[in-house]
Amino acid sequence: MNADCIIKTNDLCKFYKGGAIKALNGVSAEINKGEVVVVIGPSGSGKSTFLRSLNLLELPTSGSIMFDGNEITDPKVNINIHRQKMGMVFQHFNLFPHMTILKNMTVAPMKLLKMSKEDAEAKAMQLLERVGLADRANTYPSQLSGGQKQRVAIVRALCMNPEVMLFDEPTSALDPEMVGEVLAVMKQLAEEGMTMVVVTHEMGFAKEVADRVIFMDEGVIVESGTPEQIFDNPQNDRTKLFLSKVL
Amino acid sequence: MEWFNNWINKLHETFIVGDRYMTLIEGFEKTLIITFGALIIGVIIGTIVAMIKVFAHNSPKSRILKVLDVIMNIYLTVIRGTPVVVQLLISFFIIFISAKDGTWVAMLTFGINSGAYVAETIRSGIMAIDPGQMEAGRSLGFSNIQTMWLIILPQAFKNILPAIGNEMIALLKETSVAGYVAVVDLTKAGNQIKNTTYDQINPILLVALVYLVMVMLFTWLIGLLERRLRKSER
């Protein structure tokens, strides 16, 4: 494992119904520090399962995951500690509807990092400022549009100072006119050097922002390379077929 | 209007002479104490039982949870499978045999009984929360229990508050059997007055009226609460 590598999966498998359904069928991948990796593939290809297993929201059937030098798939490991360093953004935002935006963002740093209320709120406000939502700090999630909710979800994860950000189809539930504002925040994050793993259908984003693109199908990594390699010169027939449908 | 005057005289004789109305007021207090005490105990027990059942459902591999789940199922089956009066008799005459004041025994018994019914309400309230909420909590680094406490339960309680209110109404009426274990609650107080005054009608009707007014009041309050909740953030 090279020094820059922050996540390394080894032969990751996830089977359902006793092996009848193979969502992941031996996925080995490395994510380096500061790298933006975009995972693409047809629906049911296992790309979301792969992403969700990186912080063990899906428990792999077999295989191992190294994160920051620790094997987090070891049952003895306290996964909660490691999840603090892996921010996650969901397709459906999953903001906490009973808390204000500010509380959504400060609850985890205060309870888990033992940050003071003042520090947590100052950090939250600073992040909200960055995504242009500082004036919404004291409103509830239901009062925001989808794009605003997702921007809040991103900064909520950032409040924990994560080393990696995982994005699970962050724009798939958005109205088309709101996709851009969310992608802009993600792009800015990438430019600041955040390590990101992004599952998305936004090929434009993949081309523009990704350092590396992984194409998955039927639970395996079919092809992986720079955006140019994957989009302009795909080697595998399945990659070609998929790209011909989405581009 | 002679019958009316007669009736007023009768009421005076029954309730005012010998300050017998005080028995009713004390009984009313006992009924309220038992009801609210039992409700609190019931909600605490119900929450714990519901959480164990949900956790056991979510992580089928855990042995400890499996054992706890079996124990909870036994509790639910026994409590829901026997009449509350019988449970009260068992509590008072078999388990808490040395208890002098039946009030606490009654409160505890009704609480344990209510917990079995509240548990199902709370469990369905928890299950109704989007699983994404648990995932979001866990992804931030909260444990299962922290996520449940900080994120799931507050939302679940908001949804089931009206159902808890209805449980309170049911409890209020159920506690009328507390007289079985020497507790002078509202019903028992009315019955005592009936026995001392030989007035077969008025004490019982008054007791009924008090229950009715209480239930109507609670129903109105729950309705108010429901409208309030519907209007808020969600």
User: What is the model's pLDDT at position B61?
Assistant: 84
Q: Which residues pair with A71 in a beta bridge?
A: A66
Maximum distance among all Cα pairs of chain A, rounded to whole angstroms: 55
Chain B closest CA to A144's CA: distance in Å?
A: 11
A69, two tokens: 């030098």
User: What is the model's pLDDT at position B152?
Assistant: 96
B13, two tokens: 């004789």
Q: Which residues pair with A38 in a beta bridge?
A: A198, A213
User: What is the model's pLDDT at position B100?
Assistant: 80
Is A59's Cβ below 8 Å from some Cβ in B?
no
- Name the residue among A97, A98, A112 with its Cβ closest to that of B142: A112
Write the pLDDT tens digit of every residue in B41-70: 999 999 999 999 999 998 888 899 999 999
Chain B closest CA to A102's CA: distance in Å?
A: 15
Weakly modelled stretches of chain A, pLDDT under 50 = none
Is A174's Cβ below 8 Å from some Cβ in B?
no
* Residue B231 pLDDT level (bands cut at 50, 70, 90): low
* Residue B228 pLDDT level (bands cut at 50, 70, 90): confident
What CA–CA distances, in Å, run from B10 to B15, B189, B195?
Answer: 9, 18, 15
Above 80 in pLDDT, residue B83?
yes
Which H, E and C letters describe chain B, residue by residue? Answer: CHHHHHHHHHHHHHHHHHHCHHHHHHHHHHHHHHHHHHHHHHHHHHHHHHHHHHHHHHCCCCHHHHHHHHHHHHHHHHHHHCCHHHHHHHHHHHHCCCCCCHHHHHHHHHHHHHHHHHHHHHHHHHHCCCHHHHHHHHHHCCCHHHHHHHHHHHHHHHHHHHHHHHHHHHHHHHHHHHHHHCCCCHHHHHHHHHHHHCCCCHHHHHHHHHHHHHHHHHHHHHHHHHHHHHHCCC
Sign of the CA dihedral A135, A138, A142, A146?
Answer: positive
User: What is the model's pLDDT at position B232?
Assistant: 58
User: What is the model's pLDDT at position B136?
Assistant: 98
Above 80 in pLDDT, residue B32?
yes
State the complex-level ipTM.
Answer: 0.93
Does domain B2-233 correspond to CATH entry 1.10.357.10? no
All structural domains of chain B with their residue ranges = 2-233
pTM score of the predicted model: 0.86
User: What is the model's pLDDT at position B18?
Assistant: 82
Is A111's Cβ below 8 Å from some Cβ in B?
yes
Write the pLDDT tens digit of every residue in B104-161: 999 999 999 999 999 999 999 999 999 999 999 999 999 999 999 999 999 999 889 8
User: What is the model's pLDDT at position A127?
Assistant: 97
Angle at B42 between CA B217 and CA B81, to 5 degrees: 105
CB contact under 8 A, A83 and B139: yes
User: What is the model's pLDDT at position A238?
Assistant: 94
User: What is the model's pLDDT at position B233?
Assistant: 54
For residues A61 and A14, the answer to whether their CB atoms sit within 8 Å is yes
Residue of A nearest to B133 (CA): A94
What is the CA B232 to chain-centroid distance, rounded? 27
